[in-house]
Amino acid sequence: MKTNAHATLASILRWLGVVALPAVLMLSFLWAGGWLTPSRLTQAAMLDALQKGGGMQSGFRRNHAKGICVTGWFDGNGNASILSTATVLQKARVPVIGRFALAGGLPYQADAPGKVRSMALRLSPSDGQEWRMGINDIPVFPVGTPQEFHDLQLAARPDPTTGKPDPARMRAFLTGHPWLQPAMVQIGQRTVSSGFGDDTYYSLDSFLLVAEGGTKTAIRWAMVPVQPAVPDGSHANDHDYLFHQIIDDIHAHPLQWRLMVTLASKDDAIDNPSKEWSQDDRQIDAGTLTLTGIESEENGACTGITFDPLVLPKGIMPSADPILPARSAVYMRSFYLRSGEHPTAPAISHEMTIPSANAKDKKS
């Protein structure tokens, strides 16, 4: 009797031994994948917030959905080459694929002066050391962390009855985040240029240049237009006036921007894109971007890639800015989802980008 009980107990223990290790591994897997921690900020949660805050259309980018492809080149002048070994910053010309866009997830939204505009670029030197960037025409980013970005999207989501953000919800977000007040004010008070072509675009996030000997320099940069900036004036009651204008401009003549690199000084926040840097920082003119071609997203080369800000060449590194890894992760997920969907025709069609006799008439 006693030995029998012993044998049963031993057998139970042995079976437990068989199950224990797989069970522990299963739990580790579930934990690592975030299934046991629903509060973890995931790619899916960020895309969900973007969809609620700025809309979404299947087949299009989950943010900056309305856009147009451009092509051209970048001429590095070597001025920044003491600070970075990146091939794109040496004295050389590299081909560029780019994209202008309006912030927000709705690809058919109407152009308007106050909407945030963006420039995205992929600089491809022949050695494969690519530099991709997505840069916006606001002086600072409204938030400093992915969680704040997520919460701001939810706070800004349109009220179903009015179609506008609920002012009470926005106020609650702002009172809960008083440290973001200066950034909001700076964004609200920025001067708005007439279009994509005379706009200045900022990296907002900070990066590190790495020199030959390994010295690191924290930087931000801006693409500053060579063509004079014209203040936003009156424009025809045209749903796509910004895009019509950039199409006409590029067909008329190449557009150029200077890559102005700003070096951080002692008190500049390296890890927070919502904080402005000192006006006295040293700046380096590192090269010139020239855009000569423009195409619809229907057939342009910018559609099938994502401008992941962590696709960096040797010689440029991410800073500790927490927005950067979040962008890399979410852009990849957005690119994955939209690439598997069937988009409808974009607002800016192929026909609209063909230089027409009509467009030439308008300019003469």
Partner 1 sequence: MKTVASFALPSRVLHWVMAVMILAMLLIGVSMASTVGADYDRLVALHRPLGSAILVLAILRLGNRLHTPPPPLPRDLPPVMKLGAHASHVLLYALMIALPLVGWGMLSAGAYPIPLLGQSVLLPPILPHDPMLWAWLRWTHTVLAFLLFGVVLAHIAAALFHGLIRRDGVLRSMLWREKP
Binding site for partner 1 (CB under 8 A): 14-15, 17-19, 21-22, 25-26, 28-29, 32-34, 40-44, 46, 128-130, 146, 303-306, 308, 310-315, 318, 320, 322, 324-326, 328-330, 335-337, 339-340
Query: What does 244 bind: partner 1, ligand HEM, none (CB cut-off 5 to 8 Å by kind)?
Result: none
Pairing of strands 201-202, 216-225: antiparallel
Residue 18 CB, nearest approach to partner 1 (Å): 4
Residue nearest to ligand HEM (CB): 134
Buried b vs exposed e over 203-242: b needs ≥16 C-beta within 10 Å? bbbbbbbbeeeeeebbbbbbbbbeeebeeeeeeeeeebbb
326 backbone φψ class: left, alpha, beta (φ>0; ψ -120 to 50): alpha
CB 154 within 8 A of CB 287: no
Pick 198 or 205: Cβ nearer ligand HEM:
205
Pick 120 or 250: Cβ nearer partner 1:
120
CB 7 within 8 A of CB 1: no
Q: Which stretch binds ligand HEM (CB under 6 A): 55-63, 80-88, 170-178, 186-194?
A: 55-63
Query: What does 242 bind: partner 1, ligand HEM, none (CB cut-off 5 to 8 Å by kind)?
Result: none
**Does 140 engage in binding with ligand HEM (CB under 6 A)?**
no
Q: HSE, CB side, 13 Å, CA atoms: give it for residue 114.
A: 3
CB 293 within 8 A of CB 164: no
Residue 341 CB, nearest approach to ligand HEM (Å): 11
Query: What does 322 bind: ligand HEM, partner 1, none (CB cut-off 5 to 8 Å by kind)?
Result: partner 1
Query: What does 163 bind: ligand HEM, partner 1, none (CB cut-off 5 to 8 Å by kind)?
Result: none
State the catalytic residues: 64
Rounded to an integer, what distance in angstroms lies between the CA atom of residue 229 and that of residue 214? 38
Residue 280 CB, nearest approach to ligand HEM (Å): 23
Pick 74 or 307: Cβ nearer partner 1:
307
Q: Which stretch binds ligand HEM (CB under 6 A): 1-9, 156-164, 324-332, 341-349?
A: 324-332
Residue 33 CB, nearest approach to ligand HEM (Å): 6
CB 72 within 8 A of CB 96: yes
> 234 — phi, psi (to 5°)?
-80, 145
Pick 34 or 293: Cβ nearer partner 1:
34
The annotated binding site is made up of 331
Rounded to an integer, what distance in angstroms lies between the CA atom of residue 134 and that of residue 330? 13
Pick 86 or 121: Cβ nearer ligand HEM:
121
Helix (H) or strand (E) holding 156: none
Rounded to an integer, what distance in angstroms lies between the CA atom of residue 298 and that of residue 237? 25
| Lookup: tokens for 259 | 């890559």
Rounded to an integer, what distance in angstroms lies between the CA atom of residue 289 and that of residue 279? 24
- The β-bridge partners of 102 are 66, 117
SS3 186: helix
SS3 241: helix
The annotated binding site for heme is made up of 331
Pick 86 or 246: Cβ nearer partner 1:
86
E strand intervals along the chain: 66-76, 93-102, 117-123, 131-136, 201-202, 207-210, 216-225, 255-263, 283-295, 316-318
**Does 109 engage in binding with ligand HEM (CB under 6 A)?**
no
Residue 281 CB, nearest approach to ligand HEM (Å): 18
Residue 279 CB, nearest approach to ligand HEM (Å): 20
Query: What does 287 bind: ligand HEM, partner 1, none (CB cut-off 5 to 8 Å by kind)?
Result: none
Pick 149 or 257: Cβ nearer partner 1:
149
Query: What does 61 bind: ligand HEM, partner 1, none (CB cut-off 5 to 8 Å by kind)?
Result: ligand HEM
Binding site for ligand HEM (CB under 6 A): 46, 50, 61-64, 67, 99, 101, 118, 120, 134-136, 141, 146, 149, 203-205, 273, 306-307, 323, 326-327, 329-332, 334-335, 338
